[in-house]
Structure 1
Amino acid sequence: MVNGGQLAGYASDPAHSRGRLHEEGKTTRGPRDAFQRDRDRIVHSISFRRLRHKTQVFVAPDGDHFRVRLTHSLEVAQIGRAMARALGLNEDLTEALCLAHDIGHPPFGHAGERALERALKDHGGFDHNAQTLRTLMFLERVYPHFDGLNLSWETLDGLAKHNGPVAKRGWAMEEANAAFDLDLARHSSLEAQIAAVSDDIAYDNHDIDDGLRAGLLTMDQLLGQPIVRKGWERIIATYPGVVKERLQRELVRDQIGQMVNDVIEATRARLMEHRIETAQDVRAAGLTLGNFSDVMQAEERALKRFMYDNLYYHPTQIAAADAADTVVSGLFSAYAADPVLMGEDWATRLPADNPQRARHIADYIAGMTDRFALNRFAEIYGAAAVPAGL
């Protein structure tokens, strides 16, 4: 039983989990099943707490009202849990996946990721999704007898396949898969699929909210998007005479609701069409079942292209990203030249040879928050060297 109702037959059942990498034996720490323990371990982890000072859209945001990775992850979890409940899925697994999906992001978001990709170009590259697995499986060090959080197979599987089956496998993904076979060529659980589309819904709409608040987007620009225009006309008709600023917030809420309802309806239709009855059927279906309808997906992709053109690649955002690149690249160069700067713990564990040596340095930097990275950069190069705008 879950949330007062029976799990659907195609839901992931913690009683039938494939288990954990490390055997733990019985525990008396509360009446929780495997997926509830995973969620709690994620929430209590150091890497999750660091998300409160990691970039979502705006690098080192000055305003308290802009989203960061932590608030984004919480919003994704709220959306995911609502859809999981409507579909009869396991809410705890869905929530765990939503909360953990961005843990592998380095400081300064995609700007930091690009800098680490370049630094590791000759050492296997860097990928934030694989880094999430690496962090949760190997880098967290809080248990007496094993490294990592020792999450269940279903949680690791869902995180590995955040964007579907993994065809291109970098070194970090291969390492995780070698330790605990994640069946990377097949689709993941329906909970994982819902977590992935919840991420799209959250950042599509909440980034609009932040973009309007920052003045980098205007309603006139947004109304060129069919999905936004339809929603705005609906809002104006429902709330005549209300000030524009309040209606903009209502537009975002309404658009989230429209997308959520679309996913639920489209997912139910696919489940019926493909006669999905069990969790095994979900994995064997050969397609993503939990997703937008074709019409909504086309509109959502158009909106995403608009956001890249007008927000993510806005001149002020590009300038901030260039500054962030300078910081992350500078830190990597400094630590490669003098590992003692990382501190005793990380320096003493530094492998002697590449590629492991470079990857170890990247692990250290990837775990940093924006402000920690800025402070370390200032300590090494001087406060005057910190790029303007950070």
Structure 2
Amino acid sequence: MALGGLASDPAASRGRLHCEDDRGPRGPRDAFQRDRDRIIHSASFRRLRHKTQVFVAPDGDHYRVRLTHSLEVAQIGRAMARALGLNEDLTEALCLAHDLGHPPFGHAGEDALEEKLAAVGGFDHNAHSIRLLSLLECPYPGFDGLNLSWEMLEGLAKHNGPVIIPHWALAEADAAFPLDLQNWPSLEAQVAAIADDIAYDNHDIDDGLRAGILDLDALLELPLARRHWDTLEARHPGLDMDRKRAALVRDMIGTMVGDVLAETRRRVTEAGVETAADVREAGRQLAGFSAEMRDEERALKRHLYANLYDSAPLKPVRVEAHRIIANLADHLIANPADLPEGWQRGEGEEARLRGIIDYIAGMTDPFAIARHEEWIGKTDLEDRF
């Protein structure tokens, strides 16, 4: 069953915050295709190639970074949108943009910014994505930001569901261009969110096994992994370990995608929604895992947190990354003259500190290390670059 009647229609978009002069060449693109292209051509998107996913400055060429993760999320999201009859371009754009607001060193960097600048509201990477796209990226002559469609900004703001108490950066964007934060977003945004879960669950398994941090036998104690592994052994007896590991990840992605498609169709039928507007008023999440798959996926996440993200080999790197970002924040707070021109946000302490947030959050991993070496001293991560 296709859900084309619930798809977001670019011709019916609520528009953009700023009117645009369209006299220049634009090509045959609709509103959501232009959103996607603006994301791909942005400096923030390019910087993702040097931002941590799980492994900081990975020693091997095959580990994920934020950029490759975002591309993989987009592939999964677009495939699901196509199967459901949703708008593929909006889904792809949301997937590509979902991690733009991450600071250097992933969640370690985010935690450090949140702690050091809590006095002015702290830091949230999702809200910072909206701030980047609405204000900080400035490639156009007539306005700040990328001036994305309402549906694009709404989907990024609420891809994990309604926002009751918005972070300050999101609240500012919402005040300028109200995003109906209390409602669920489009089905495209809901699909993009679940595509993110599917991608990082399975690709982190791949990277963790490749790095020798995850233990295959321990992973296979999870029923979800064991079922797929046993099926692979029956289907391809004698297959070498590298190919079998890749097939395991591929098959688990396929199973999760199939589960989301079936469950989303079931929920839509049960809710009786008939239009894209009905999706926002449904009062519940319509795209997601079945109850059985949800429980298995949560068990997988718990395993990854215990055995990969919080593992002994990665913990010292995360601690050092946190120290680097905290030191940079402390230095710029104490030495405001070192904040480059253009990063000041107006008069007053709050504006000054938020300029520091914007500057540090936009750094790549190697740039953060270089600034730390210049201003503060050596780090334990320099040799990784």
TM class, shorter-length: over 0.9
Shift of 1:168: 2.7
**Alignment partner, residue 316 of structure 2:** 319
* 2-structure distance, mates of 1:201, 1:86: 16
Paired residue for 2:227, among 213, 226, 230?
230
**Alignment partner, residue 286 of structure 2:** 289
**Alignment partner, residue 276 of structure 1:** 273
Find the residue that maps to 1:298 and give its secondary structure: helix
**Alignment partner, residue 363 of structure 2:** 368
* 2-structure distance, mates of 1:95, 1:160: 16
Shift of 1:389: 7.1
Shift of 1:248: 0.6
> Aligned partner of 1:105: which letter?
H
* 1-structure distance, mates of 2:252, 2:54: 19
**Alignment partner, residue 352 of structure 2:** 357
* 1-structure distance, mates of 2:219, 2:383: 27
Residue 54 of structure 1 pairs with residue 51 of structure 2: yes
Higher alpha-carbon deviation: 210-219 or 25-34: 25-34
Residue 19 of structure 1 pairs with residue 30 of structure 2: no
Query: Unaligned regions of 5+ residues in structure 2, if any?
Result: none
**Alignment partner, residue 186 of structure 2:** 189
Residue 95 of structure 1 pairs with residue 125 of structure 2: no
Shift of 1:343: 2.4
Shift of 1:352: 3.5
CA contact (8 A) 2:6 2:279 kept: yes
* 2-structure distance, mates of 1:121, 1:350: 17
Shift of 1:13: 0.2
Find the residue that maps to 1:268 and give its secondary structure: helix
**Alignment partner, residue 3 of structure 1:** none
* 1-structure distance, mates of 2:335, 2:380: 20
State the Cα deviation string for residues 150-199 of structure 1 (Å, max 9, x = none). Answer: 00000000000121111231111111111110000100000000000000
CA distance 1:209–1:385, change in 2 (3 Å): closer
**Alignment partner, residue 197 of structure 2:** 200
Find the residue that maps to 2:213 and give its secondary structure: coil
Shift of 1:223: 0.6
* 1-structure distance, mates of 2:3, 2:153: 21
Shift of 1:335: 1.4
Written as runs of structure 1 = structure 2, the 5 A alignment for 1:45-194 is 45-194=42-191
Identity of aligned pairs, percent?
Answer: 62
Residue 329 of structure 1 pairs with residue 326 of structure 2: yes
**Alignment partner, residue 6 of structure 2:** 10
* 1-structure distance, mates of 2:131, 2:274: 33
* 2-structure distance, mates of 1:83, 1:95: 10
State the Cα deviation string for residues 63-118 of structure 1 (Å, max 9, x = none). Answer: 11100000000000000000000000000000000000000000000000000000
* 1-structure distance, mates of 2:321, 2:293: 35
Query: Unaligned regions of 5+ residues in structure 1, if any?
Result: 1-5
Residue 256 of structure 1 pairs with residue 253 of structure 2: yes
Shift of 1:209: 0.2
State the Cα deviation string for residues 245-287 of structure 1 (Å, max 9, x = none). Answer: 2101100000000001111111111111112211011111111
Shift of 1:51: 0.3
CA contact (8 A) 2:369 2:379 kept: no
Find the residue that maps to 1:332 and give its secondary structure: helix
> Aligned partner of 2:192: which letter?
A
Shift of 1:145: 1.3
* 1-structure distance, mates of 2:14, 2:32: 12
CA contact (8 A) 1:12 1:191 kept: yes
* 1-structure distance, mates of 2:309, 2:381: 19
* 1-structure distance, mates of 2:142, 2:346: 22
CA contact (8 A) 1:189 1:279 kept: yes
* 1-structure distance, mates of 2:374, 2:90: 41
CA contact (8 A) 2:184 2:285 kept: yes
CA contact (8 A) 1:231 1:255 kept: yes
* 2-structure distance, mates of 1:299, 1:248: 19
State the Cα deviation string for residues 42-64 of structure 1 (Å, max 9, x = none). Answer: 00000000000000011222211
* 2-structure distance, mates of 1:195, 1:345: 33
CA contact (8 A) 1:323 1:389 kept: no
- In the superposition, the TM-score normalised over structure 2's length comes to 0.96
* 2-structure distance, mates of 1:45, 1:137: 12
C-alpha RMSD over aligned residues: 1.4
* 1-structure distance, mates of 2:235, 2:332: 57
Shift of 1:385: 4.5
> Aligned partner of 1:219: which letter?
L
**Structure 1: 4+ residue segments shifted above 4 A:** 385-390
CA contact (8 A) 1:47 1:103 kept: yes
- In the superposition, the TM-score normalised over structure 1's length comes to 0.95
